Amino acid sequence: MSVLFKSVFSVWYPQAAVSQVLRKRFFRLGRNERGDVAIAFGLLSVIMMMFIGAAIDLSKWLSARTDTLNAVDAAVLAGARSLQTNSTDPAAAVAAATSFYEANTRGRLQVLDSIKFVTARNDTSVKAEGTAEILTPFLGFAGVDKLPLIKLSEAEFAEAVVAVGGNSESSIELSLMLDITGSMAGSKIVDLKAAAKDLIDIVVWEDQSKATSRVALVPFSESVRIDNSLKTALGITGNSSYLFRNRSGYNVTYLRDFNCVTERTGVDALLDSTPVSTSNPGKFYDSNGSCLPGATIVPLTSDKNHLKSQIDSYQANGVTAGHLGTAWAWYMLSPNWTSKLPTASHPEPYSKLAETGPKGQPKLRKIAILMTDGEYNTQYCSTGVSYAAQNCTLTNGTSAQQALTLCTNMKAKGIDVYTVGFDVGDNSSVLNLLRNCASSPGKFYQADNGEQLKQAFRDIALKVSDLFLSK
C-alpha cells in the first residue's frame, strides 16, 4: 500500500479501525464464489453446446437415413418394374434404379455414398450394394466423425424381387396351354420344356402362406387327356365302340378312349358352365381307341416338382385341336368346375378378381397362356369322331372359330389371356387368331426360335408377378 494511500486512509479511520476493516474485507474476499460460478457456467455452456450439436447431427442422420432407405426402396422397385416391362435389358433396369435413387437423394448434405444397383436372381430382381454415411461435425469432437445411414451388407430392404421364391400380395391362378403335337418334335419340344419350367420357377413362389400362386398344365394335340379321378368326377360313361360310315362310304368301327375328351355340344359348348351329364366334354373315338397326347392335364397346383416332372415327360405327337386346349385352359381357372376338381386345385370365385388389397393391388389374378406352333386343323363331330373321318355338320364351327369364341368368353370373365406363336412363320391365320385371342396387342408374342420362346414365357412370368421388397 502506498504512503499516500496510508495517509489518506489513516485520516478517515483510526489505526485500530483500519485493522478491523481490513480483516473483514479479506474475510469477505475469501468467501467470494462469483468466480466459481462463472467457470461452472462456462463449462456447462460448452457441454450444452455439445449436446445441441449432437442433437443436430442425430436429427440430420435420422432424416438422411429415412430419405436413403426410401430412395433405395423406390430405386430397386423402379428397376424391377423395368425388368417386368423389358426383361431382355437388365442394363436398362440398373439405369432406372440409379436414376430414381439419384433423384430422391439430391437434397442430402455431407453424405459419403457408394450405393450402386445390380440385377440378381437370374435377372428377376434388382438390389442395392454399397454403403452410405453422413458426416457428423459436432459429434466429431467426441471422436464420432460419421454415422452409417444404411449398411446394405445387412440387407435392409435393399432388393426388389419379381415375386420369385417369395410371397406376392396377389394370388395367381395361371393355366398353361402347351402344344405338344407332332410338329413340335425334336429341338422344339426341348425348347418348350425349358421355357415352361423357367416360367414355373418365376411364377410359383415358395411361401404360400399369405397369397397363393398355382399353375395348371394343359398339354394338347388331337385331344386332351384327363386322369382317372377327373374322369370319375365327370361321370364319363357310354359305349366303348362306335359304328359309322366314313367319308369313303365304308362302315367302320372306332374304339373309345375314356380318358380323352373332345368338344362340348349344345348351349354350353363354348362356355365354362358346370359340366353335367348333358353338357359333359365330348367323347373321343378313333381307329385304335387311344388318343394323343399321352400326357394328362394337371389342375392348379403349387407343387413345382410335380409340374416340372410332368413337363419333362412330354412327347410330341398328333395333330392340332387347339380349341380343346383353349377350352381346358379356361376350365382349369373356372370356379364353375370346382366340384369336379381336387380340393387343392379349386379355382377361386370370379368375384374375387374385383377385390383389392390395402395397397390397391388385386387380391386375385387369373391368367391363361395359350401356346401353339401351328394352325388349328382338327375338330370333331358330335359323335366324338374326327371331322376328317366322318362327314358331319360342325355345329360349333372349326377349331379356329371355336378357339376365338372361347377366348372372347374367357376374357369377358376377367381372365387375362396371353398368346405365344412358336415358329409359325408368316402364317397369317395362326397369327391373326393368336393376336385376337390375346387380351391386348402387347400380350401376343411371336417366338421364332427356342431362345425367343423362353424369353416370351419369361417376359409373361415377370409381367404377371407382383413386386415385393426382400431383405
Query: Would you state the cell numbers that stand for residue 435, as one nine-digit string?
Result: 393376336
Q: In this predicted structure, what is the pLDDT of residue 9?
A: 36
Topology at the third CATH level for domain 171-470: Rossmann fold (3.40.50)
Domain ranges of the chain: 39-161, 171-470
CA–CA gap between residue 115 and residue 50 (Å, rounded): 31
Helices 428-437 and 399-412: angle between axes, nearest 10 degrees: 20
- Quick one: pLDDT at residue 8? 34
- Residue whose C-alpha cell reads 485493522 in the numeric block: 19
Tens digit of each residue's pLDDT, the chain (471 residues): 444 334 433 433 444 444 554 455 544 545 555 555 555 555 555 566 556 656 776 777 778 788 888 788 778 877 877 777 677 788 988 998 898 788 778 777 778 888 888 888 778 788 888 888 888 777 666 677 778 877 655 445 456 555 444 455 789 999 999 999 999 999 999 999 999 999 998 889 877 888 899 999 999 999 999 999 999 999 998 899 999 999 999 999 999 999 999 999 999 999 999 999 888 999 999 999 999 999 999 999 999 999 999 999 999 999 999 999 999 999 999 999 999 999 999 999 999 999 988 777 889 999 999 999 999 999 999 999 999 999 999 989 999 999 999 999 999 999 999 999 999 999 999 999 999 999 999 999 999 999 999 989 988 988 887 666 665
Please give the Cα distance from 178 to 185 (Å, whole number): 13
**Whole-structure pTM value:** 0.74
